[in-house]
Structure 1
Amino acid sequence: MNRIILLSTLFSFALVSFPAFASSNLVYCSEGSPESFNPQVTLSGTARNATAPTLYNRLLDFEPGTTKLVPSLATSWEISDDNRSYTFELREDVAFHSTSYFSPSRNMNADDVLFSFNRQLQKSHPYHLVGGGTYQYFQGMGMDKLITKVEKLGDYRVRIELAQPEAPFLSNLAMPFMSILSKEYADQLQREKRKSDIDVRPVGTGPFRFRRYLKGTTIRYRANEGYWQGAPAIDNLVFAITPDASVRYMKLKKGECDLVVYPSPSDIAQIEAQPDMELAEEDGLNIGYLAMNTEKAPFDNVQVRRAIAHALNKQAYIDAVYRGNAEPAINPYPPSMWSYNEDVAQYEYNPEKARELLEKAGYADGFKISLWTLPVSRPYNPNGRKMGEMMQQDLARIGVEVELVSYDWGTYLDKVKRGEHDMVQLGWAGDNGDPDNFLYTLFSCDSVKRGSNNSRYCQPEFESLIKQARRESDFATRERLYRKALRVFSEDVPVIPIAHSKVFRGLSPRVEGYVMDPFDVDNFYLLSVSSER
């Protein structure tokens, strides 16, 4: 073995001395309903916050507020000399949740790790097809092709074999989709012929236990008093599902919510000015973009895509939609990411140039098309409808007639995954601090099949570059490959990068311990409240 990493002591920052049965409640105003309560089968940030930091743990995690890897369910790991074998030592003191529908008889062990990995990996696994057999993160990031074997070496020892070296592999293990589920619970559900319950009645090892969910209204969690890092300070955690950003602000103002996600840009100044409110902010590791379905005419023509890029007035959107709390994007990830490249094709706002390109492409008289507007408020696009109306006006100036379409969030994601759209507003918040998380997940040929590539873009040169980069261990070589890939991407312009936005949270002053996260995750375990209302 070429490296032995013993990191268990690094996690001591989280072993806080909260009282085990603190009588406190926190209401979190979220922006939407999760698609599922299993992060293996979800893609949205909405579902991520409702599952990964509340209900589950992973082998590794990120130190709160940073991109630094720290141990979680694994205490240490060894990497083989050829970088293709990873051996993990597991914690022996981690209990799964006891709920009204499941009582564990043992602690988390290697069997649970194998179950959680193999459900996504093996098509023959008894749970693989539960929910449809689609694991967009696992498959879209190529983990199904990368991992060749997950082997139990002992009750608390696991080895993972890879088909080839993979530079971002450890970081990927800290992402929500690699959460560890209970095999014992899965076995119980299989005996009871209720396997689908594993995704809707969750059992994890995280700081909170699931209580109940009223769709579109509330999610209720109870503190896991036996949590292996120590009981949370919050006794009851309630997600108040509130899609309208202005309503979230009013709930914060009235004291009905303690923590508000994604306040409207128009409310930011008011939150800052209120003595009984606090504002947390950070430059987001995100991208808002307009994707064009390159499998459909006219967007199979690169001249048309370039014309659309020249027709859109990004700065106007930033001024009106983001209220200035964003910067124009030229790459599909922000300048804070390593390998960011300013030496790429850039498309300034130029309607005359756009009309010339349409004429060259054979569309001098324009065309009719649909544009799907984001139905939820996200940092990368706070108001999809308003941006859609502005895009509609911009495109009308070059002879493109646009019909605006939208759906509820779950339907929107499902239809986009199936490639039913023409143009669609979407975006991405980084999950692990690596460019691979943007480029391979969103724009690889594999991700077309898995449904996370909204432009349906599959280009051989670009594909070769990003695959070389993810197999390369030398940082300078990886950076050079990604910068070259970004130049290819900019020439092809399958999506139009619109903006990198700041990320905000509104808080009650009684909330203590909140830390902004680069991955836009709210870590409720760190929080406490100063007093009851």
Structure 2
Amino acid sequence: MKKYFVFFLVLTFVLSLSVIGMAKTPKNILVVGDRIDAVSLDPAVAYEFSSVNTCMNAYDTLIIYKAGDFSTPYPGIAESWEVSPDGLTWTFHLKKGVRFASGNELTAEDVVYSFKRAMAINKGPAWILQENVKDIKAVDKYTVAITIKQPSAYFISTLYNPVAAVVDSKVVKAHEKDGDWGEGWLTDHSAGSGPFIIKSWERNVGITLVKNPNYWGPAPKVDKVLIRDIKEANTQKMMLEKGDLDMSFGLTNEMKLDLKNNSDIEMVKGVNLRIGYLGMNILKKPLDNVKVRQAIRNAIDYDGIVNKLAKGIGIRMEGVIIKGLLGYRPSLGIYGYNPEKAKQLMKEAGYEDGFEITLTTSSGSSSMGLILEDLGALIQSNLAAIGIKVKLQFLAGSAYLQLYRNKKTELNIGVWGADYPDPHNFVQPFGRTGGSLAKRLSYSNPALDKIIDKAAVELDPISRVKLYDEAQKILC
């Protein structure tokens, strides 16, 4: 049975605000406001927004992507690479002279150790390597060969996730306890070759990074970064205005626009890898009726969400592949805001008089820059216009996730942040049987599974785009 998701906000463009004129903070220290959700700062375990951001500044990966361009991988600590004719062996040639913060030289043995360590620890992001990597070995001091399980169109992009970051094997081994691969120590320390070193992490207070004196690339422009754990958006805004913060990651879109005319503050725009979505659990009646789901997706004022609630900071999309990735389509021509069509679909479904249903999400502001209570109210109003009475349920984040992950929600608002910059990491979670989001909404479509699997191994970009067009028209 086909299930429809409604995707109403695909990108939030404003990622940070930087004070550039009257900051009271020392010029050699960058003070950042964030809502720290980290569980561990070990790159083999980091799986939250703030932990991933921190690891990206303390460690290096074989490949990198340039800001705003997720279509082409560039050399990281690997200066070049090639793929065998059968597509199974990827050989990476490391840059010589790269040193860890300890002063130890980064070699192929460190890369091998790091990958094997992450897969052995087997937490959070480990699956990103496990689903592809069959074997990894050091060919020589500066050459690494990775054998994957089958040809893959997206494998190279997975190497940008911190789980594929390279750790200083000598330092980590020196801090191992009871065979833990040094995980306990790396939770709040670092052993990387990135521009910064993790000096400390005081829970509920903040994370301190200091400049790596042995960094092989361009020297950081500041000596220290203080990432302060500030949960309230209003507090972050006031601290920005006073000059007590240099940058903020936790403001609502309304706050961002309010600060736009402040000459002391610069709004830095950038594409992120997050999408907001309205999910429908097809195990919950009447969502098992395809026409009801079609009615809901045609009843929502998407432009109103983007322009009024998101203050124009974002893009409304019909599909799941974001701008900047292969297969992105501004419009699929599938649906839009059409209340009359929605009413007709409700009538055809046998629910002309409507029904009651619960919409569940977390409370407060989201990483989309929206106040979720406002978003819920708008959806509630839109659906009331076609006879659907929506009960809104706002929960603490942990309580909401528990319900959602256990398939207990009917309608839900969620945010998906990609693990790596490839369309597979959007289409697969939402559409593949067993995908991390599909399973929470009881969705399975064998025909779609075949398309997604074929696209994952299709190496010709043009053919791959055609497969994703087909997949998104089924999924959305």
TM-score by length of 1: 0.74
Could you tell me how far apart the structure 1 residues matched to 2:314 and 2:407 are?
29
Offset at residue 284 of structure 1 (A) = 5.3
Aligned to 1:81: 85
In the superposition, relative to structure 1, how do residues 252 and 434 fare at CA in structure 2: closer, same or farther (>3 Å)?
Answer: same
How far apart are residue 268 of structure 1 and its match? 3.2
Specify the SS of the correspondent of 1:35: coil
2:415 is matched with which residue: 427, 437, 449? 427
Partner residue of 2:217? 229
Q: CA deviation at 1:482?
A: 0.8
Cα 1:391–1:239 shift into 2, 3 Å: same
Paired with 2:52 and 2:223, the residues of 1 have a C-alpha distance of: 21
Task: Determine the C-alpha separation between the residues in 2 that align with 1:224 and 1:23.
Answer: 18
Q: Structure 2 matches for 1:326-337, cutoff 5 A?
A: 326-334=314-322, 337=325
Q: In the alignment, which residue of structure 2 is the partner of 1:392?
A: 380
State how far apart, in whole Å, the 1-side matches of 2:186 and 2:432 are.
27
Q: Distance in 2 between matches of 1:35 and 1:420?
A: 25
Residue in structure 2 matched with residue 290 of structure 1 by the alignment: 278
Q: How does 1:434-473 map to 2 (within 5 A)?
A: 434-448=422-436, 455-473=441-459
Paired AA for residue 454 in structure 2? Q
Give the equivalent residue in structure 1 for 2:149. 163
CA offset at residue 358 of structure 1? 7.3
Give, in angstroms, the shift of residue 477 of structure 1.
0.6
Instruction: After superposition, give the CA deviation of every residue in 1:196-228 in whole Å (9 maximum; x if it has no partner).
Output: 415522322211111222223311111111112
- Give unmatched runs, 5+ long, in structure 1: 1-21, 99-103, 491-533
SS of 2:295's equivalent in the other structure is: helix
Which residue number in structure 1 is paired with residue 310 of structure 2?
322
SS across alignment from 2:215: coil
Post-superposition offset of 1:429? 5.1
Residue of 33, 36, 39 corresponding to 1:35: 39
Is this contact kept in 1: 2:236–2:248, CA < 8 A? yes
| Counterpart for residue 477 of structure 1 | 463
Of 380, 401, 420 in structure 1, the residue corresponding to residue 390 of structure 2 is 401
- How many residues are aligned here? 446
C-alpha deviation, 1:478, in angstroms: 0.7
Q: Deviations over 1:143-201 (max 9, x none)?
A: 42322211232333221112221122222212333222343344334335665415522
CA offset at residue 273 of structure 1?
1.5
Matched, 1:111 2:109: yes
| 1:213-252 equivalent positions in 2, closer than 5 A | 213-252=201-240
Give the whole-Å Cα distance in 2 for the aligned partners of 1:376 and 1:358. Answer: 35
Letter in 1 for 2:292: V
Q: 2:262 aligns with which of 271, 274, 281?
A: 274
Contact 2:77 2:94 in 1 (8 A): yes
Larger deviation, residues 223-232 vs 250-259: 223-232
In the alignment, is residue 57 of structure 1 matched against residue 79 of structure 2? Answer: no
1:486 correspondence with 2:475: no
Percent of aligned pairs with the same amino acid: 22
CA contact (8 A) 1:308 1:395 kept: yes
Residue 357 of structure 1 corresponds to 346
1:310 partner SS:
helix
SS of residue matched to 1:447: coil
The farther-off stretch of 187-196 and 435-444 is 187-196
Relative to structure 1, is the Cα distance of residues 115 and 441 closer, same or farther in structure 2, using a 3 angstrom cutoff? Answer: farther
Which whole-Å CA distance do the structure 2 matches of 1:117 and 1:413 have between them?
Answer: 30
Aligned to 1:197: 184
- Contact kept? 1:120, 1:144, Cα under 8 Å: no
Deviation of 1:237 after TM superposition, in Å, equals: 0.2
Q: Partners of 1:374 and 1:442 in 2: how far apart? A: 23
Give me the whole-angstrom Cα distance separating, in 2, the residues matched to 1:388 and 1:28: 30
Deviations 1:401-438 (A, max 9, x none): 32312224x66556644545433322345565532232
Question: In 2 relative to 1, CA 36–343 (structure 1 residues): closer, same or farther, beyond 3 Å?
Answer: same
Equivalence for 2:8: none
Shift of 1:73: 2.0
Q: Sort the Cα spacing of 1:433 and 1:350 in 2 relative to 1 into closer, same or farther, 3 A.
A: same
Q: CA deviation at 1:117?
A: 2.1
